[in-house]
A = this chain, B = another copy of it.
Amino acid sequence: MSGKTVAVVGLGLIGGSIAMALKGFEDYQVVGAVRSQKTYDFAVAHGVCDRVTMDAAQAVREADVVWLCLPPQAILDFMEAHRDDFKPGSVVTDVCGVKTSIVEGAKCLPPTVDFIGCHPMAGKEVSGIANAEAAMFQNAHFILTPGPDNDPAHVALLERMGKYMGFRDVVRATPEQHDAIIAYTSQVMHVLAVAVCDDPDLFSCKGFEGGSFRDCTRVAALDVPLWTELFSLNAPALCKVIQNLEDNLRAYREVIASGDTAALAAKLEYSSQRKRRMNFDSPI
């Protein structure tokens, strides 16, 4: 084969979708590496990638680009276990929702391997290859966290892949910036969703839910082991954002309880104008 190879290690919801979305990218053959026979069979039957293998070591030995599509700790373990398997000159990236600890862990790789952190900001409230789809990344942000040691040509290659997969834009940040902001835009939304479901009225509210309730609690049926890792790996930033939200909720509770409707109106005006300005700045 004269072309190049991109290996997708782990064909779950995200890995499966990346494999599907990358098919046909430039002159790359897409190889999926899986551990379970069930996933192997599904991937073969549905043509998720050009080739599927259960030999991850061999897959990364041949790959010019490796996408690690596993949970956070499994990514760290995989890099440690396969540090000498990666092809010299190859680019390795990942899909983890936290970046500082992954980029730190990638320092175990030999200097001939170029690791660039990535967070494709997409997901669903269900997991597994059966829920994967090539259109997963439409309208989503493709976040890269390159450092000064990364080869710009490799960063550009990943950006081309992001565009090919249908992401709406490419965003760059340092791993630390990423983790601080993601605590706010993603992690606390998941904490909120589960916290709302802890209310004693959850099961007696049937017939009274509207769009806002369905939207807010949509992500509460989350993948517990995955989110346990994500929250734990970003605990200080996440706890700060939760504390902010508790404070902001208490401030609303206090003004509502006070009976001062003018103060409540002024506070709602302030917050809703922030939201309108946000919409104006970034139409989504």
Interface residues of A (CB under 8 A from B): 121-123, 140-141, 143, 169, 171, 173, 178, 180-182, 184-186, 188-222, 224-225, 227-229, 231-232, 235, 238-239, 241-246, 248-253, 256-257, 259, 261, 264-265, 267-272, 274-279, 281-282, 284
Contact = CB atoms under 8 A, between A and B. Distances in A.
B216 A235 contact: no
B202 A190 contact: no
Contact of A212 (B213, B219, B238, B272): B219
6 contacts: A188-B196, A194-B268, A198-B271, A203-B274, A203-B278, A231-B256
Given A122-B210, A181-B205, A216-B215, A221 B276 contact: yes
Contacts of A201: 180-181, 184, 241
A74 to B, nearest CB: 15
A176 B104 CA distance: 55
B195 A213 contact: no
A250 to B, nearest CB: 6
B210 A141 contact: yes
Contact of A121 (B208, B243, B278): B208
Nearest to A207: B171
A181 B195 contact: no
Nearest to A252: B191
Closest 3 CB pairs of A and B: A194-B271, A220-B275, A215-B215
Contacts of A252: 191, 194-195, 242
